[in-house]
Structure 1
Amino acid sequence: MSPAERSRSFERHRHRDVQGGWLRPAVFGAMDGLVSNFALIAGLSGGQADRSTVVLAGLAGLAAGAFSMGVGEYVSVASQSELAEAEIEVERRELEAHPAAERAELAARYEERGLSPELAAEVAAALHRDPREALEVHARDELGVVPGELPSPWLAAFSSFGSFSVGAILPVLPYLLGASDLWPAAVVAALGLFAAGALVSRVTARSWWFSGLRQLAVGAAAALLTYGIGALIGVSGL
């Protein structure tokens, strides 16, 4: 295959990044912000809270939730990356101290995948000629990570913070614009939930309408639950 043909084949078969560290916190943040803040507003509305109380609670929920999500994602991803780096360093020391044993281990792994013992030993020897290549192969096979390509905790934190803020502000917007009833916020939240679910379908195998309806159902269930709790507490005077 010529270089031009290999390039065209690569372009036809290019995969999306599934380990970049931004998609999960961004999606989770937007969904969590929209569902949690709309549910909070619904609960206050069920308890007959006035407009100013709903706005204050909605903005406070946005600020607290976004900060919590951002910090949580940073700590989580940083801890995971630090653990991976520590294990990569263990593998690096093993390659330096016991190169023959590590090469034999790699060859045995290729044999398990169907290569003949001779070819497996030849491939392992070729990969071990470059220490960086050997470390990458061992880390990928044994740890499931690639040195130098670990998720960024800052990227995860900012993705989570920003997406939560966007999701959480949507149900508050009608109140900021003068609404005093729940239904305008419910309409905006429902549209946002469906749109967010449909958007997620672009990076999954699900259809856009299934993802949208699923997210809408989850958000509606949370809002109905908190509305009922708010109404119960408001009526009972607790």
Structure 2
Amino acid sequence: MTDVPAAVREDHHADVSGGWLRPAVFGAMDGLVTNIALIAGVGGGGVTPHTIVVTGVAGLVAGAISMGLGEYTSVRSQNEQLAAEVAKERRELERHPEAEARELADSWVRRGLPRELAEQVAVALGNNPDEALRVHVREELGVDPDEQPSPWTAAILSLVCFSIGALVPLLTYLVGFTSLWLALGVGALGLFVAGALVARFTNRPWWMSGGRQLLLGMAAALVTYLVGRLIGLGGPLG
């Protein structure tokens, strides 16, 4: 079978503009780290397993809602700001088309395009107002106005992935075990697996991505555990 050049295939690049990967990864990692650290902190204080479960579930619910609302508001605000800038650029194109064409041509000349050709293309582009607007926005703002992330997608993914991540360190308690160290061990495994899965989208070594997330998450758990031991009851760990 003859290889098809990547440049002529529509699927030769991953979708980096849909806005789903960042909230999914951020939600899952935040859920894992937040609840592992939370459980380590209260567990280090010597509270009962029941209290750890109540604390972990409360952290899961509150964190998931907070993440969902935060992602929705953040992405919605970003899109609204972009819409305002696009409207501003549209007005400039309507009022000062020649100046905008010169500005676009100048940006292409700085990239190495011959002046005459750059000006010809900029003027010809002005005959198609919609395409001219898209090109000007991409050149001046560095974004595509037609490919913006959905605030609802970001919110739902963040909420769901946070919940899944936050559930992992609670699993051992929910099935009947009472050992803090076992719960933290399962959480550590979850951190490594989550980091390794992210490597599938970034083409980085899976063990490096997993190890990095494990190290960062366990560092957070160690800090909260020590704080819990200092100000808590100082009881047995189970």
Does TM-score exceed 0.5, indicating one fold?
Answer: yes
Instruction: Give the alignment of 1:94-173 within 5 angstroms.
Output: 94-173=92-171
Rounded Cα–Cα distance in structure 2 between residues aligned with 1:53 and 1:211: 33
The aligned counterpart of 1:69 is 67
Instruction: Provide Cα deviations, 1:45-69, integer angstroms capped at 9, x if missing partner.
Output: 1111111111111100000001111
The aligned counterpart of 2:212 is 214
Deviation at 1:17, TM superposition (A): 2.1
Q: How many residues align?
A: 233
Letter of the aligned partner of 2:61 in structure 1? A
Identity of aligned residues (%): 59
The alignment's C-alpha RMSD in Å is 1.9
Q: Please identify, of 217-226 and 135-144, the stretch whose mean Cα deviation from structure 2 is larger.
A: 217-226
Rounded Cα–Cα distance in structure 1 between residues aligned with 2:233 and 2:54: 22
Letter of the aligned partner of 1:183 in structure 2? W
Rounded Cα–Cα distance in structure 1 between residues aligned with 2:222 and 2:4: 55
Rounded Cα–Cα distance in structure 2 between residues aligned with 1:61 and 1:87: 38
Deviation at 1:154, TM superposition (A): 1.0
The aligned counterpart of 1:192 is 190
Q: 1:223 aligns with which of 208, 221, 224?
A: 221
Rounded Cα–Cα distance in structure 2 between residues aligned with 1:215 and 1:88: 38
Instruction: Provide Cα deviations, 1:153-209, integer angstroms capped at 9, x if missing partner.
Output: 111111111110010001111111111111221221111100111111122242111
Instruction: Provide Cα deviations, 1:88-136, integer angstroms capped at 9, x if missing partner.
Output: 0000111111111111111121111111121111111222221111000
Q: When the two structures are superposed, what TM-score results if normalisation uses the length of structure 1? A: 0.92
Q: 1:232 aligns with which of 200, 214, 230?
A: 230
SS in 2 for 1:17: coil
Rounded Cα–Cα distance in structure 1 between residues aligned with 2:185 and 2:48: 19
Q: Please identify, of 17-26 and 54-63, the stretch whose mean Cα deviation from structure 2 is larger.
A: 17-26
**Cα contact 2:46–2:234 (8 A) shared by 1:** no
Rounded Cα–Cα distance in structure 2 between residues aligned with 1:168 and 1:13: 34
Rounded Cα–Cα distance in structure 2 between residues aligned with 1:216 and 1:57: 22
Letter of the aligned partner of 1:191 in structure 2? L
Rounded Cα–Cα distance in structure 1 between residues aligned with 2:188 and 2:67: 22
Rounded Cα–Cα distance in structure 1 between residues aligned with 2:234 and 2:190: 33
Deviation at 1:6, TM superposition (A): 8.8
Rounded Cα–Cα distance in structure 2 between residues aligned with 1:67 and 1:12: 37
Rounded Cα–Cα distance in structure 1 between residues aligned with 2:28 and 2:93: 43
Rounded Cα–Cα distance in structure 2 between residues aligned with 1:214 and 1:177: 29
Rounded Cα–Cα distance in structure 2 between residues aligned with 1:50 and 1:147: 53
Deviation at 1:236, TM superposition (A): 6.9
Q: 1:175 to 1:13 in 2, by over 3 A?
A: closer
